[in-house]
Amino acid sequence: MNKLSQGIRIDTPPPEFRNLRNVSIPKLIPAFINLVLIAAVVLFVFSLLLGGLKFILTGGDKEKTAEAGRQVLNAILGIVIVFSSWAIISLIEQFFGIELTTLEFPSI
């Protein structure tokens, strides 16, 4: 058993994990925001396509046509809200000189 554990060093990580020492919460916030934006775009495209497909396949039923139209409208409103909030955050950052996404505040 001693021979098996002699070659393993617990104090240093393997080379592929050495960059994890540089990971911190302020660095993860912009990555998380980008991930949310990408997920919002993917969901928008999926919802828009599904709503359009429902609209095409309604067969003239007014209730189903209205439901498909609401789904398309909700998809468009959702993406507008997501990118409006991103634009407002960017505007606040530029106007006040505060990095909201990285938690870095200017010194006075």
Domain parsing of the chain, residue ranges: 26-96
Residue 104 to residue 97: CA distance in whole angstroms: 10
Is pLDDT of 52 > 90? yes
DSSP assignment string, 9-72: -SSS--GGGGGGGG--HHHHHHHHHHHHHHHHHHHHHHHHHHHHHHHHTTTT-HHHHHHHHHHH
Distances (CA, A) of 106 to 28, 29, 59, 87: 20, 18, 60, 21
Name the more confident of 93 and 65. 65
Is pLDDT of 8 > 90? no
Is pLDDT of 92 > 80? yes
Query: Which pLDDT score, from 0 to 100, does residue 87 have?
Result: 92
